[in-house]
Structure 1
Amino acid sequence: MQTHDVQIDGDLVRKRFIDGKPGGAEREWRALQLLAEHAPGLAPSPVEYGTDLVVMSRIEGTPLFLLPAVPERELVEAVDRLHGAVPRQVLDRVPQRLWPVERIRDQLLVWAGRWRPKNELADQAVAEGARWLSGWEPGERGVRPVFGASDGNRANFLWDGVRVRIVDFEESGRSDRATEVAEMAEHVSCWVRGESELCFELDSAEERRLLECRRLFALMWVFLLKDEGPRNPPGTFMRAVRRALDRLG
């Protein structure tokens, strides 16, 4: 499902939001402005903002999802720069990411309640996941506020041969370090063609929160992939099920 229409006009990119969900263009524009001021060069430069429209500079690069090998060090450097870019006094005024973990937890419980039996392993993952979600309170433990893109899709990270830059901020906002790292680690684009574990610097409380958030996002992909389509290789859904059971175990 497309959430936006992108047109390239020379050195400019015109991104029009077509999914009818409010706030996407505003979040994208806010992110581009913040990063242009606090981390220039990491993302496209903001050019023009209108109703459901963001115009930005075009940046060159190949999406990491298409590369045979991910430049892991440069990817970590780009994400570290993103997370540390916005000063705390500015970050405190930035709205939360579109899907904070509490909202994801509540949505997954709704989906679990509507689950129709599929196969033994998938049903087990949903049942065990629902039990864990029902007792999980994220709280403030392990929270280090950061500005997050809140989308771990490796198609949004571009490699130009020297550095990694980032695009697509329609779900961005104030987040925390462990949540953002977990979302990247469990995004289907990060494991569907072979797995690699990125090494981010986290303190002990963040490491514990990371494990919990990885459970959350692994479960999320079980629901998102249950109606397996042509976008991913055959068997992707069952790989997601096994990942979720591993995280829960």
Structure 2
Amino acid sequence: MHTHALSLGADVVRKRYVSWDDDEADREWTGLTALAEHAPGLAPVPIAREVEDGAPVVVMSRLAGEPLGGAPVPAAAVAALAVALRRLFAVPVAGRERVHGPSTMRAAVRDRAARPHDVATCQDPALVAAALDRTRAWLAVEHAWDRVHDSVAARGDGNLDNLLWDGASCRLVDFEEFGVSDLAFEVADVVEHASSRLHGLLDVEGLLHAVDHAVDLDGARRARLAHFRRLLAAFWFVMLLPGNGGFARNPAGSTERQARHLVDLLDDPAR
């Protein structure tokens, strides 16, 4: 669902929100302000807050670079993304959790998974149905890791389209879900996001190696990372089920690919 409309100028971007149930404009302004102070150059500079026909608007600087989505991510960009994440995670943060963060994700996915889904429209209904049963059973069990353990600033979106690459640096845009999160959850959000995973655009092991070098993925973080990868893979599997927007937007067979990936993660908790 699109929550905003963008007006692009030569040096300025106007972001007009069409929905703001989660305080999107306030979250974005808070995030951009924090990064402008503590990680200058990593994100747009906030310029002004306005109201247009009753809708909130955030005006910000326009960054150089092209979105990383849509094509395989170059090795240099993978390394730069790890640096960008390190800088983001170092930004002091307090207050409310990001939208769809570690403490609320399981319940949200469980609710969506519990709804009726007509898997007969899938390419392989039996595979999808079995994966859905497995997913529902896994989501039914509460887990102590489903909360913030290692507080970091979070953009709230692992979409490659919101990562800009100029050939030297990786910069971040779209902070409307900004808030506190867990470091391992945020790494998992990038690794498992459908924008990269469905088409194999991101060198996952390369990114994890670079992130480990940047922020030290110790044993505890790696264990939580594996857990949150399963949780976020379950989220994307459910979003790709018939009746949800991802099913219609993605190529046929995407649901089956995600089902296999999720089952592989559930079968191998160390991943």
Give the TM-score normalised by structure 2. Answer: 0.84
- 2: CA distance, partners of 1:156 / 1:61: 11
Gaps of 5+ in 1: none
Match runs of 1:3-22 below 5 Å: 3-22=3-22
The structural deviation recorded for 1:141 is 8.3
Match of 2:265 in 1: 247
Match of 1:224 in 2: 239
Match runs of 1:161-240 below 5 Å: 161-194=167-200, 195-197=202-204, 198-199=207-208, 200-201=211-212, 202-227=217-242, 228-229=246-247, 231-240=249-258
Would the alpha carbon gap of residues 237 and 61 (structure 1) be closer, same or farther in structure 2, given more than 3 Å must change?
A: same
The structural deviation recorded for 1:223 is 1.3
Task: Verify the 8 A CA contact 2:154 2:181 in the aligned structure 1.
Answer: yes
Task: Verify the 8 A CA contact 1:142 1:178 in the aligned structure 2.
Answer: no
Would the alpha carbon gap of residues 157 and 204 (structure 1) be closer, same or farther in structure 2, given more than 3 Å must change?
A: same
Task: Verify the 8 A CA contact 1:46 1:56 in the aligned structure 2.
Answer: yes
Which residue identity does 1:59 align to in structure 2?
L
Match of 1:62 in 2: 66
Gaps of 5+ in 2: 120-124
SS at match of 1:135: coil
Candidates 142, 163, 174, aligned match of 1:136:
142
Which residue identity does 2:108 align to in structure 1?
Q
Would the alpha carbon gap of residues 132 and 63 (structure 1) be closer, same or farther in structure 2, given more than 3 Å must change?
A: same
**Residue-by-residue CA offset, 1:14-46 (whole Å, 9 max, x unaligned):** 001102424000000000000000000000000
Match of 2:43 in 1: 43
Structure 1 stretch displaced more, 212-221 or 195-204: 195-204
Aligned length: 244
Would the alpha carbon gap of residues 16 and 213 (structure 1) be closer, same or farther in structure 2, given more than 3 Å must change?
A: same
Would the alpha carbon gap of residues 142 and 204 (structure 1) be closer, same or farther in structure 2, given more than 3 Å must change?
A: farther
Match of 1:156 in 2: 162
**Residue-by-residue CA offset, 1:81-120 (whole Å, 9 max, x unaligned):** 111122xxxx23x321011223211122212221335122
Match of 1:26 in 2: 26
The structural deviation recorded for 1:193 is 2.4
Which residue identity does 1:225 align to in structure 2?
L
Task: Verify the 8 A CA contact 1:78 1:165 in the aligned structure 2.
Answer: yes
- 2: CA distance, partners of 1:140 / 1:108: 13
Runs of 4 or more consecutive aligned structure 1 residues displaced over 6 Å after TM superposition: none
Structure 1 stretch displaced more, 204-213 or 62-71: 62-71
Which residue identity does 2:152 align to in structure 1?
V
- 1: CA distance, partners of 2:146 / 2:44: 32
The structural deviation recorded for 1:123 is 1.6
Task: Verify the 8 A CA contact 2:103 2:146 in the aligned structure 1.
Answer: no
Task: Verify the 8 A CA contact 1:97 1:171 in the aligned structure 2.
Answer: yes
Task: Verify the 8 A CA contact 2:102 2:148 in the aligned structure 1.
Answer: no
Match of 2:110 in 1: 109
The structural deviation recorded for 1:138 is 3.3
Structure 1 stretch displaced more, 138-147 or 29-38: 138-147
- State, as a whole percentage, how many aligned pairs show the same letter: 38
Task: Verify the 8 A CA contact 2:131 2:259 in the aligned structure 1.
Answer: yes
- 1: CA distance, partners of 2:12 / 2:118: 48
Would the alpha carbon gap of residues 111 and 156 (structure 1) be closer, same or farther in structure 2, given more than 3 Å must change?
A: same
**Residue-by-residue CA offset, 1:220-245 (whole Å, 9 max, x unaligned):** 01111123556433321211111111
- 2: CA distance, partners of 1:22 / 1:136: 25
1:80 equivalenced with 2:95 (yes/no): no
